[in-house]
Structure 1
Amino acid sequence: MDNAVTRRRNGSVRMMASDVPLVRVEDYLASVREEEGLLPTVIFASARKCRTGNSGRTAAQFERLRKISVEAMESDTRFLLKNNELDFFKHMKARVGSSMRQAKSHHHCALLNYCYNLLPVEISRRLTGNFLPSLGDEQWVRIFSSEAPDVMSMARAGISFSTVQQILHYLANYICEDRGRNIHEQSSMWLFVILVLLDDLHAMQESVAYELQRLKRAFARHVPSMIDSLAIYDTDSEDDQVERERAEMAISGYVLNICIIRQHFKQW
């Protein structure tokens, strides 16, 4: 796997996809929030009132929470991003697209190289060419439980759209299995990165639309119970409050992915 920059992992030097210091997705999101106020709406069932004297972070961060019909999440027309919030995603997608370079071959796709570098050395040293179909469930669990790549780094290093579609397929297989237990922060962020990189014309293909539908249904099926589970936290406990805030942030990511698939990619 030939790239210019190396990364040290597990005591060895591994290849990385890009040699340009880049802004992380999280930093970009933060800058957009500060400058344009376009962070996507977080939509939850109503939360219990926090105790007096709380730091106020929850109230400030989730002041835009709206009630939804958790029983009818799949068809609830209120379960939507506002126009400016959808514009935020389109703006980010356009920014990434303007920097995106087409990989000269499938083997040079930065996303393929990123997956390669997440695998144990004893496995990766045996892989050649398009190794994705040869990976087993254990390897995909390792990949999708790891930190997702920086989307701008991937775009600038070079992307093969066929590889993006392949990884979308394996990600859909992973997320749709195990009764919702594979829906977590890491897999959700992987999906967000794929949605940003996914070419809109490619997304119109029947096979890609099918994967997006599978993912939307999986999130819509399991997110309501995750919302309900927020009630278990004791708002009088500072530790519970921290855990609840983290859970709410994770769920907001799941909601964002559902809305993007529905509204941007027109998969209702």
Structure 2
Amino acid sequence: MLNAEIVQLPCLKDNYCFLLHDFDSNITAVIDTPDANAIEAALEARGWQLDYILTTHHHWDHIDGHEALKQRYNCQVIGPRLNENVIPDIDQRVEGGDVLQLGGIDIQVIATPGHTLGHVCYWSQQLEAVFVGDTLFSMGCGRLFEGSPAQMWQSIQLLRDLPDTTAIYCGHEYTQNNALFALALEPDNQRLLMRCDEVDILRAKGLPTLPTNVQQEMQTNPFMRADVVGLQQALGMSGADPAAVFAEIRLRKDQA
């Protein structure tokens, strides 16, 4: 049985990064590095060294701590091959389908172009968790800075095909804002209404709304529901190509 822990660490204004620790091998990885100081403090508080940095994409708020952490811990930086020229200090380049071994933890790389062309997510079936960077948020998804709507829709389908109970660890705390947009599209979605109430209670207490999970997002996230009949009807796009429906949802969110 895997003896491991995931630590969700708030950073900057609304970022999250994540420590993965395998107790049997004493190996630790961090998913993205928004703030080297916060990460180092969390490691020191637990008595952990840092062995690996897993990078989802090249935006500054996901790589800003790479250089300082590598200098401090001499750790290995892993990141998407397509971004190898813009990710500092990269040691190992990965692409969709690659499998990483972090102590006893198996990590599968999923290519998810859309937010950026090189974006990858990291899925561990053993941990029942996927680390999605800025591809997916609770009730939302990342802006399309580099990829196309069709690419992002395909990427989101890969994530929703994971087991329903898979925990989704997102790179930002955007849930409350996303909920308002989702409600505007599906005001009669009962599961969405329940989720919005849960989110309001959590945020009023200063608590995170993450992780979410695949099943919950399939019920509440309009960007994962572009092929759902009711949502297509609400958009006046019944029977349309789901990629086109996704593009319309993304356009409306960008203009909201």
The question of a shared fold, defined as TM-score above 0.5 by the shorter chain, is answered with: no
- Determine which structure has more spread, i.e. the larger CA radius of gyration: 1
Structure number with greater CO (CA < 8 Å, separation at least 6) is 1
Structure showing the higher strand proportion among its residues: 2
How high is the TM-score relative to the length of structure 2?
0.29
Structure showing the higher helix proportion among its residues: 1
